[in-house]
A and B are shown apart, each in its own frame.
Chain A
Amino acid sequence: MERREFIKLASAAAALAALPGCATSSGGKSIGRVVVVGGGYAGAAAAKYVRLWAPDIEVVLVERDADFVSCPLSNRVLSGGKSIKDLTVSYSKLGSKYGVQVVHDEVTAVDADKRTITLARGNTISYDRLIVAPGIDFMYDAIAGLNNADAQKKVLHAWKAGPQTVALRKQLEAMRDGGVFAISIPKAPFRCPPGPYERACLAAFYLKQHKPKSKVLILDANEDIVAKKGLFTKAWKDLYPGMVEYRANSELVDVDANTLTAKLQFEDVKADVLNVIPPQRAGKIATSAGLITANNRWCGVDYLSYESVAQKNIHVLGDATLAAPKMPKSGHIANQHAKVCAAAVVALMHGGEVYTEPLIANTCYSYVSDTEAVHVAAIFKYDANGKTMASVPDSGGLSSAASDIEGMYAEGWAQNIWADMLG
């Protein structure tokens, strides 16, 4: 070995050793820039963890909304156990503690060749790597009667937490005793598989106290309950006897928003409050950035780095991705995507190798009343043969029964995962 080569190696080693020393400072020379689009469960965690693990990488997070509002726990706004304020977290610590530059704007275009994004306000930002975490968009074009703003004000989705959640609660408050609250569920895959059934529980919880003659009617496009079936059916039977009716194979074909009628293939169902969770696809920017690879809806990724299979130097996280089998579109999974991606981005930008043995967890709680919750959990590891994530045999499972202690853990889960992404 030549002396010069050795010196190179030695200084590389010194540079490596010096890195942790920079951890507290956001100054120093940056080796490159990561831009993150979308500050939800995936994007905010990715922004924080890139900075946590690589203070020499500049991170810009572009997020449309002023504050983060959590979808998980938002069904509790319907039952009255939570307010939207309880589910709202500021982005400020990403800047003050981690040096993430948070820009509140919308990304209107991505140029993968020039490696730039364009903001709605007009200027462009260049990146070395782009992390796209846009969540979901609703496919209103599939439901003609809902494909206009007026109809969408009457028939709510409340599937993105915020004003819609509050408005749906108000609709329930205004409903007559003896009315029907109908929930339409699209064919899987959709964001938060247990969410619609949890919503049925928590709407029933509210109605049982205030309007006990009312009904909750579940119109499910799927052939069976998609998640936690035994636990939900037990809750409906034991906690809300006679109130919750479940209908499988009831795909929504159209809606009459004026009469609050759900049009199914063979019948029309009239409701007093109609809640349609529309079919979903990756958030809009995924389409314009050329990231959609599956069924015209989802973004295919390499599960070791979450780099798009369609575009180099662009990573996609969370609900927008084409999920591996049995891997739900959950907030917890989005958080886990973020860390695998952050580790890969940091490694690649430092000229290193991507870690090949990622292990990720899912723990997903649902409330069945104001205090009792149930969970489903799983551990997934990388399957090199199938190039996918597969659940580890014998790991994971469901609650044996709903309990108050799991209700407390569900609250603890929320506080901790919000702090893990934004605190």
Chain B
Amino acid sequence: MKKTTSAIYISGLLAFFAGAAQAAEDVGSRNLAAACAACHGTNGHAVTGMSALAGMDKAYMVKTMQEFKTGKRPATVMHQLAKGYSDDQIGQIAEFFAKQQK
């Protein structure tokens, strides 16, 4: 009996820590994405004149940012800003915006 309950505790704990790790990652991507909001709107909801990022497909956003980075996609400023982000950071930001409602 004791063993079984321990096993339940442990699996519960593992789930808790996995959840905590997920939460930390979500906070990290939320924080990174918050920088974009100055031009692209809170949580990616642009009001006018800029691309809305909320609900954008993750793969599309990653591809677009990579194209800004390499200079393949013409831009006025995004080619300069995209170079400030690692591939991993771009992935996190794209994941955050993909989860936001359009």
**A in complex with B:** yes
| A interface residues (Cβ-Cβ under 8 A, vs B) | 1, 3, 6, 9-10, 13, 16-17, 48-49, 52-53, 332, 335-336, 339-340, 343, 347, 355, 357-361, 363, 375, 377-379, 381, 392, 394-397, 399, 403, 405-406, 408-409, 411-413, 415-417, 419-420, 423
Check A335–B38 contact: CB distance below 8 A.
Answer: yes
A419 partner, pick from B9, B12, B42, beta carbons under 8 A: B42
Check B9–A6 contact: CB distance below 8 A.
Answer: yes
Choose among B28, B30, B34 the residue with the greatest number of A CB atoms under 10 Å from its CB. Answer: B34
B7 at the interface (CB under 8 A from A): no
Check B84–A361 contact: CB distance below 8 A.
Answer: yes
Which residue of chain A lies nearest to B76 when distances are taken between CB atoms in the complex? A406
Which residue of chain B lies nearest to A392 when distances are taken between CB atoms in the complex? B84
| B interface residues (Cβ-Cβ under 8 A, vs A) | 9, 12-13, 16, 19-20, 23, 27-28, 30-32, 34-42, 46-50, 76-77, 80-81, 83-85, 89
Check B34–A49 contact: CB distance below 8 A.
Answer: yes
Which residue of chain A lies nearest to B82 when distances are taken between CB atoms in the complex? A395
Check A52–B42 contact: CB distance below 8 A.
Answer: yes
Q: Which 9 A-B pairs have the closest CB atoms?
A: A379-B84, A412-B49, A395-B84, A339-B34, A392-B84, A397-B80, A395-B83, A419-B47, A13-B16
Could you tell me the distance in whole angstroms from the C-beta of B24 to the nearest C-beta in chain A?
Answer: 8
- Tell me the complex Cα distance, A181–B31, Å: 45
Could you tell me the distance in whole angstroms from the C-beta of B42 to the nearest C-beta in chain A?
Answer: 5
How would you classify the secondary structure of chain A's contact residues: helix, strand, loop or mixed? helix
The answer to whether residues A416 and B49 also contact, given A1-B9, A6-B12, A13-B20 and a CB cut-off of 8 A, is: yes
A375 partner, pick from B28, B47, B77, beta carbons under 8 A: B77
- Chain B residues with CB under 8 Å of A413's CB are 38-39, 49-50
- Tell me the complex Cα distance, A49–B38, Å: 12
Check A363–B38 contact: CB distance below 8 A.
Answer: yes
- Tell me the complex Cα distance, A397–B47, Å: 26
- Chain B residues with CB under 8 Å of A405's CB are 76
Check A363–B84 contact: CB distance below 8 A.
Answer: no
B39 partner, pick from A17, A53, A395, A417, beta carbons under 8 A: A417
